[in-house]
A and B are shown apart, each in its own frame.
Chain A
Amino acid sequence: QKEVEQDPGPLSVPEGAIVSLNCTYSNSAFQYFMWYRQYSRKGPELLMYTYSSGNKEDGRFTAQVDKSSKYISLFIRDSQPSDSATYLCAMMRDSSYKLIFGSGTRLLVRP
């Protein structure tokens, strides 16, 4: 079993839709949770990070962490074609800086 599971998609939505991206994990030691966006032929860039449980909002993006269910989500409101990319969740334990990535979900926002 992989430490971090993520549906590869692709997920295709019309412009303006609310997008929900999710990851599940098995290691209860994870404390830091990140979402990276990766455009084609580019390196990942950090979108949001959350420590422990709870919600965090940044503009059109909301990250949620439910440690009791070992489940994290990223919501994108009013999605735009420029949001079309692969979204990678990543997690880190408190005592280590080693990031464990999910396999990524490909998102396509249709104009």
Chain B
Amino acid sequence: EAGVAQSPRYKIIEKRQSVAFWCNPISGHATLYWYQQILGQGPKLLIQFQNNGVVDDSQLPKDRFSAERLKGVDSTLKIQPAKLEDSAVYLCASSLGVGTGVSTLQETQYFGPGTRLLVL
């Protein structure tokens, strides 16, 4: 079974520039997550999609970050304009996400390798 795919793996940009990350979840997974992991910290959820609807975007800095999941499969996360403090690894994860809340096995999140962003 193919895992979660992300691209690019690395990106270096100047502050105030824009950048976009792409994620392809595991086939059949309804739920998709974007996390930000700053060096030395655990991942922090930015946004969660169930199919192509947003479930939780409470920690997404909406003045500069946007995300979409068209057709309920692939997703893109965009930052515009980037700030120095956005330097981090952006992780995408997916889960079966049937939404029953019954079994964590269904909600097990599988992570991609991440995109490492450096803002200069």
Residues on A facing B (Cβ under 8 Å): 4, 6, 8, 32, 34, 41-46, 49, 51, 88, 90, 92, 94-99, 101-104
Contact = CB atoms under 8 A, between A and B. Distances in A.
A9 to B, nearest CB: 11
B104 A101 contact: no
Contacts, number: 59
Interface string B76-120: 000000000000000101010100010010011111111010000
A42 B116 CA distance: 10
Interface residues of B, number: 26
A75 B45 CA distance: 27
Interface of B: 4, 31, 40-45, 48, 55-56, 91, 93, 95, 97, 101, 104, 107-114, 116
A94 B103 CA distance: 10
Contacts of B91: 43-44
